[in-house]
């Protein structure tokens, strides 16, 4: 219990911060950017390597510009996630809007469950929270539990404030079976690096051989649930839009690896258009295919 005291103290501080208006939190984000980028150099080597390998055609000055923009966004994102503890439904819906959500809801109204995926792009945390308000079925985001139990419980709390039902990644198949009599949307992160022992396929992604999970595709083919991609766009600081794009409406008729290829190419195009909003500090390419 005593080992958790620092974690609980940190969480109390985070909650107190979340009570402040976003305009104040963005001032703190400016300071955090300078600390991350110039003082501590937080994962700068990882970010630089990821950007250079992904965009070999860009000059060093172009890479540095994207890098700075990324760290500015990352600092703001951290405080936006902190704000999730106390943000109201009204404010979240004002800052996070949807296009083509009616097609998803039409399936829900007809009792048809769907699958959806998206990447760690923009404020995916707000997106997960916001779609839980607007989708007319039960929303099940898939997540990886944190090793710190106190912070894992905190994340679970803020992610489920408006009705989401979080499912640990390894419990996905069980949750789908147990919820088969209700209308659901299971939401997958399509850019998470799968463990080596899990089913995956290698694809060229951002000029690098990259492994992608096949779990969603296998579930889609087995259940024939329509698959949507949630394309997130950053409108301006603190304002986002998600377009619900039909990716594969008849998965049972798709060919092997087709669905994975579709969502991978879509994510790649999104990143290439505005790269500063993707999670470049993640060690996405730490595993390489065996020769």
Q: State the pLDDT at residue 5.
A: 63
The pLDDT score that the predictor gives to residue 76 is 98
Predicted structure pTM score: 0.93
Select the more confidently predicted residue: 10 or 263.
263
d(CA 99, CA 103): 9
Q: Please choose, from the candidates 97, 186, 167, the residue with its C-alpha nearest in 3D space to the C-alpha of residue 133.
A: 97
Contact (Cβ atoms closer than 8 angstroms) between residue 146 and residue 152: yes
- The pLDDT assigned to 281 comes to 96
Residue 230 reports pLDDT greater than 50: yes
**CATH (residue range 2-277):** 3.40.1130
Of 96, 93, 122, whose CA–CA distance to 233 is shortest?
Answer: 122
- Lowest mean pLDDT of 3-7, 47-51, 185-189, 198-202, name the range: 3-7
Q: Residues 6 or more apart from 24 whose CB is under 8 A from it?
A: none
| pLDDT given for residue 2 in this prediction | 45
Q: What tens digit of pLDDT does each residue of 99-110 get? A: 999 999 999 999
pLDDT tens digits, one per residue of 55-73: 999 999 999 999 999 999 9
Nearest to 289 by CA among 214, 157, 156, 193: 193
Give pLDDT, residue 141.
94
Question: Domain map of the chain by residue range?
Answer: 2-277
Whose tokens are 């999670």? That residue is 279
8 Å CB contact between 128 and 164: yes
Query: Can you tell me the distance from the alpha carbon of 199 to that of 215, in angstroms, rounded to the nearest whole number?
Result: 7
Cα 55 to Cα 51, 264, 284: the distances in Å are 6, 17, 15
pLDDT computed for residue 198 by the predictor: 66
The DSSP annotation for 188-203 comes to EETTPPPPTTS-EEEE
Angle at 129 between CA 127 and CA 133, to 5 degrees: 110
């Amino acid at each position: 219990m005593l080992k958790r005291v620092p974690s609980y103290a940190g969480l109390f501080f985070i909650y107190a911060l979340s009570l402040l208006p976003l305009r104040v939190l963005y001032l703190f984000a400016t300071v955090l950017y300078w600390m991350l980028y110039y003082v501590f150099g937080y994962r700068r080597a990882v970010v630089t390597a990821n950007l250079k390998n992904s965009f070999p055609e860009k000059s060093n000055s172009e890479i540095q510009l994207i890098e700075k923009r990324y760290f500015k966004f990352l600092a703001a994102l951290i405080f936006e996630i902190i704000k999730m503890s106390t943000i109201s439904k009204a404010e979240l819906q004002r800052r996070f809007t949807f296009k083509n959500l009616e097609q998803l809801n039409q399936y829900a109204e007809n009792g048809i469950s769907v699958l959806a995926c998206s990447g760690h792009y923009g404020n995916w945390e707000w997106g997960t929270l916001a779609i839980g308000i607007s989708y007319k079925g039960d929303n099940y985001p898939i997540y990886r539990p944190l090793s710190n139990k106190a912070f894992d419980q905190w994340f679970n709390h803020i992610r489920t404030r408006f009705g989401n039902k979080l499912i640990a990644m390894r419990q996905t198949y069980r949750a789908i079976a147990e919820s088969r009599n209700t209308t659901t949307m299971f939401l997958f992160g399509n850019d998470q690096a799968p463990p080596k022992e899990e089913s995956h396929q290698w694809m060229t992604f951002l000029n690098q051989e990259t492994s992608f999970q096949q779990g969603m595709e296998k579930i889609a083919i087995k259940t024939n649930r329509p698959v949507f991609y949630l394309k997130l766009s950053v409108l301006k600081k603190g304002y986002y839009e998600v377009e619900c794009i039909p990716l594969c409406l008849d998965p049972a008729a798709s060919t092997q690896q087709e669905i994975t290829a579709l969502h991978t190419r879509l994510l790649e195009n999104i990143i290439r258009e505005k790269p500063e909003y993707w999670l470049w500090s993640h060690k996405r390419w730490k595993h390489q295919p065996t020769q």
